[in-house]
Amino acid sequence: MLFFSRGEAERSRAPAPARKSLFTSAKKSDIIIIKQMRSVYKRKYHNLKGMVIGMREIKVTLKNGEVRYFTGGVTGADIAKSIGMGLYKAACLCAVNGQTRDLRTPVTEDCDFAVLTFQDAEGAKAFRHTASHILAQAVKRLYPEAKLAIGPAIENGFYYDFDVEKPFTQEDLALIEAEMKKIVKEDLPLERFELSPEEALAYVRQQGEAYKAELIEEHAGKGEPISFFRQGEFTDLCAGPHLPSAGRVKAFALTSVTGAYWRGDATKKMLQRIYGTAFPKKEELAAYLAAVEEAKKRDHNKLGRELEYFTTVDVIGQGLPILLPKGTKVIQLLQRFVEDEEEKRGYLLTKTPLLAKRELYKISGHWDHYRDGMFVLGDPAKYEEPAEEIFALRPMTCPFQFQAYLARLRSYRDLPLRYSETSTLFRNEASGEMHGLIRVRQFTISEGHLACRPDQLKEEFAHCLELAKYMLGAIGLLEDVSFRFSLWDANDRAKYIGDPAEWETVQNTMRGILDELEIDYAEELGEAAFYGPKLDIQIKNVHGKEDTLITIQIDFQLAERFGMVYIDAEGQKKTPYVIHRTSIGCYERTLALLIEKYAGAMPLWLAPEQLRVLPITERHHEAALALEKQLKAAGLRASTDLRSEKIGYKIREAQMEKLPYMLLLGDQEAENGTVSVRRRGEGDIGSQAVAEFIQMAQEQAREKVIF
pLDDT in tens, 169-186: 999 999 999 999 999 999
Q: What mean pLDDT do residues 366-375 have? A: 94
Q: What is the pTM of this model?
A: 0.77
The model's pLDDT over 286-306, given as tens digits with 9 standing for 90+, comes to 999 999 999 999 999 999 999
Top-ranked range on mean pLDDT: pick from 56-60, 525-529, 603-607, 667-671:
603-607
Residue 701 · residue 610 · CB < 8 Å:
yes
Mean pLDDT, residues 577-585 taken together: 95
What is the predicted pLDDT for the residue at 221? Answer: 79
The pLDDT-based confidence of 317 (bands split at 50, 70, 90) is: very high
Q: Is 597 exposed, middle or buried (0-12, 13-18, 19+ CB in 10 A)?
A: buried
Phi-psi map region of 600: left, alpha, beta (phi>0 left; psi -120 to 50 alpha): left
Section 324-350 average pLDDT: 98
- Cα separation of 552 and 485, whole Å? 10
Q: Are 60 and 70 in contact (CB under 8 A)?
A: yes
Residue type for position 108:
T
> For residue 235, is it left (φ>0), alpha (ψ between -120 and 50) or beta?
beta
Closest CA to 351 of 419, 426, 427: 419
Asked if residues 575 and 587 have their Cβ atoms less than 8 Å apart, the reply is: no
Confidence band of 92 (pLDDT split at 50, 70, 90) = very high
> Could you give the CA distance from residue 75 to residue 106 in angstroms, rounded to a whole number?
4
pLDDT at 533: 95
Residue 658 to residue 678: CA distance in whole angstroms: 12
Q: Is 395 helix (H, G, I), strand (E, B) or coil?
A: coil
Question: How far is Cα 478 from Cα 539, in angstroms, rounded to an integer?
Answer: 9
Task: Name all domains of the chain by residue range, CATH numbers in brackets.
Answer: 3-118 (3.10.20.30), 122-296 (3.30.980.10), 322-352+394-597 (3.30.930.10), 355-393 (no CATH), 611-702 (3.40.50.800)
CA–CA separation, 254 vs 24, rounded Å?
60
Residue 419 and residue 447: Cα distance in Å, rounded? Answer: 8
CA pair distance 125, 260, nearest whole angstrom: 22
pLDDT at residue 545 in the model:
86
Give residue 55's pLDDT band: very low, low, confident or very high (50, 70, 90).
low
Q: What pLDDT was estimated at residue 44?
A: 35
Average pLDDT over residues 238-256: 95
CB 209 within 8 A of CB 167: no
For residue 35, report the phi and psi dihedrals to the nearest 5 degrees.
-65, -40
In this prediction, residue 9 carries a pLDDT of: 43
Contact 664, 675 (CB under 8 A): yes
Gap between the Cα atoms of 302 and 523, Å rounded = 34
CB 616 within 8 A of CB 643: no
Per-residue pLDDT tens digits for 118-128: 999 999 999 99
* Cα 213 from Cα 260, distance rounded (Å): 19
Q: Which of 228, 248, 225 lies closest to 237, judged by CA?
A: 228
SS3 state of residue 351: coil
Q: 14 pLDDT exceeds 90?
A: no
Q: 446 — phi, psi (to 5°)?
A: -90, 80
Indicate if the pLDDT at residue 675 is higher than 80: yes
- By CB atoms closer than 10 A (0-12, 13-18, 19+), residue 262 is middle
Tell me the residue ranges of DSSP E strands in 629-673.
638-640, 661-665
SS (H, E, C) 90-129: HEEEEEECCEEECCCCEECCCEEEEEEECCCHHHHHHHHH
What residues contact residue 142 under an 8 Å CB cut-off, 6+ apart? 175, 176, 179
Average pLDDT over all residues of the chain: 91
In the chain, the N- to C-terminal Cα span, in Å, equals: 60
Cα–Cα distance for residue pair 365/423, rounded to 1 Å: 20
- Which residues partner with 524 through β-bridges? 486
> Measured on CA atoms in the order 260, 262, 264, 267, is the torsion positive or negative?
negative
- The string of pLDDT tens digits covering residues 520-535 is 999 999 999 999 999 9
Residues 622-649 have pLDDT tens digits of 999 999 999 999 999 999 999 999 999 9
Nearest 5°: phi and psi at 588? -65, -45
Q: What is the pLDDT of residue 30?
A: 39
Per-residue pLDDT, 42: 36
691 φ, ψ (degrees, to nearest 5): -60, -40
Mean predicted confidence (pLDDT) in 688-705: 97
CA distance readout (Å), 451 to 456, 503, 511? 9, 19, 20
Strand partners, 679: 661, 683
pLDDT at 49 over 90: no
**Cα(578)–Cα(593) distance, integer angstroms:** 29
**Pairing relation of β-strands 683-689 and 270-279?**
unpaired
Q: How far is 602 from 706, CA to CA, in rounded Å? A: 8
Q: What is the pLDDT of residue 249?
A: 97
- Give the pLDDT score at 17: 39
Q: Is 616 helix (H, G, I), strand (E, B) or coil?
A: coil
The mean per-residue pLDDT over the stretch 549-554 comes to 96
- Tell me the pLDDT tens digit for each residue of 456-507: 999 999 999 999 999 999 999 999 999 999 999 999 988 899 999 999 999 9
Q: Which residues contact 84 (CB under 8 A, 6 or more apart)?
A: none
- Mean pLDDT to the nearest integer, 196-218: 95
pLDDT of residue 26: 41
Query: What whole-number distance in Å separates Cα of residue 153 and Cα of residue 475?
Result: 34
Outline where 345-456 has alpha helix (H). Answer: 358-364, 366-369, 398-405
Q: How confident is the model at residue 430 (pLDDT cuts 50, 70, 90)?
A: confident
377/383 Cα distance (integer angstroms): 9
Dihedral sign from CA coordinates of 431, 436, 441, 447? negative
How many beta carbons lie within 10 A of that of residue 217, not counting itself? 13
CA dihedral 168, 174, 175, 177 (to 10 degrees): 110
Alpha helices (H) in 358-492, listed in sequence order: 358-364, 366-369, 398-405, 457-475
